[in-house]
Structure 1
């Protein structure tokens, strides 16, 4: 089986060979777009991604074997054009988003934490991320790219990816901590009220 860079190189002479790149990566691009924008928009983003990739294949860096970061970078830039659509999609994905972006926070909180409040807090924090921080976090969490692949997808240095992910994680942790502290205060307040009623 040919590597991605070989397929792209071959497609300069035989355009039909680009179809193998589509077969190899269409599912990953579609899944990433569907998680961000919903199934209906994912079809359009996936199709447009491969159209743009085909048109720009001459500029592909042939030294890079795996084309998936390049394709997901194109998809991410295309999705920025759908900001209003994505904002609407976030409203309907609050619970699923929190579970996928920060499942460890929810698990650690256990029964003490009001999961609905945490979900709302995390979704709000997620929406407040800058577009570039959100893109970076989602390429890491949903597209399963490592730092170097995210850097390639977004055409930024690896250090920029690290700082964006650190900033996004800190914001999400802070939101989870605020929700946890609020729940603890309510539990303590409930105990105080109960003790006062018993006295």
Structure 2
């Protein structure tokens, strides 16, 4: 089985090979986009993502085996063109996100906060995040990328990814009224240094 970088290199000679890359990653790109934009807009942006990727395949770094961060980075940039659609989708997205997150947060926040109030607060907090912080958080949460892959997708240093995720988590914890001084876990980091007592 060919790696993504091999497929992209081969597609310069045989463009039809690029279809294998589409088959391999289309569902992951679609899921990420659908969670942010809704199904209809996700179809359009996913198609545009692979069209842009095909047109720019000459700029792909052939040393990078996995093309998913590159594809999700293209999708994220294209999504900014569809920001108006994303704003319309926020209401439904926030309800969906709250349904996934709310039970744990509500339990920790206590009986004084109900699910509807938490949804409004999380929605408001997500809207207030900068585009860069929100994209980084959602690439992590919905794109299932680790820190290094997010750095590649957004073309920033890994330290910037850490800062953005830390800032976004603090904002969401505050919005959920669970802002504590507890230690952060490694959250998927692959470069965690051993902890000393």
Pairwise mapping of residues 35-184 of structure 1 onto structure 2 (< 5 A)?
A: 35-100=35-100, 104-109=104-109, 111-177=111-177
Task: State the match for 1:19 in structure 2.
Answer: 19
* Alpha-carbon distance, 1:155 to partner: 0.5
Rg (Cα) greater in structure: 1
* Alpha-carbon distance, 1:110 to partner: 5.5
Q: Which moved more, 1:91-100 or 1:14-23?
A: 91-100
* Alpha-carbon distance, 1:114 to partner: 1.2
Contact 1:97 1:123 in 2 (8 A): no
CA distance in 2, matches of 1:31, 1:100: 15
Contact 1:106 1:115 in 2 (8 A): yes
* Alpha-carbon distance, 1:116 to partner: 1.1
Q: Which runs of 5+ in 1 are unaligned?
A: 180-199
* Alpha-carbon distance, 1:111 to partner: 4.5
* Alpha-carbon distance, 1:178 to partner: 7.8
TM-score between the two structures when normalised by the length of structure 1: 0.85
The secondary structure found in structure 1 opposite 2:176 is helix
CA distance in 2, matches of 1:6, 1:118: 46
CA distance in 1, matches of 2:101, 2:80: 20
CA distance in 1, matches of 2:141, 2:163: 16
CA distance in 2, matches of 1:138, 1:104: 19
CA distance in 2, matches of 1:55, 1:101: 38
**CA separation of 1:10 and 1:178: change in aligned 2, threshold 3 A:** closer
Q: Which runs of 5+ in 2 are unaligned?
A: 180-197
Aligned length: 179
CA distance in 2, matches of 1:6, 1:128: 41
Runs of 4+ in 1 over 4 A off after TM superposition: none
Task: State the match for 1:196 in structure 2.
Answer: none
TM-score between the two structures when normalised by the length of structure 2: 0.86
CA distance in 2, matches of 1:53, 1:159: 26
CA distance in 2, matches of 1:107, 1:54: 47
The secondary structure found in structure 1 opposite 2:12 is helix
* Alpha-carbon distance, 1:118 to partner: 1.1
Contact 2:125 2:175 in 1 (8 A): yes
* RMSD of aligned residue pairs (Cα, Å): 1.7
Which of the two has greater helix per residue?
Answer: 1
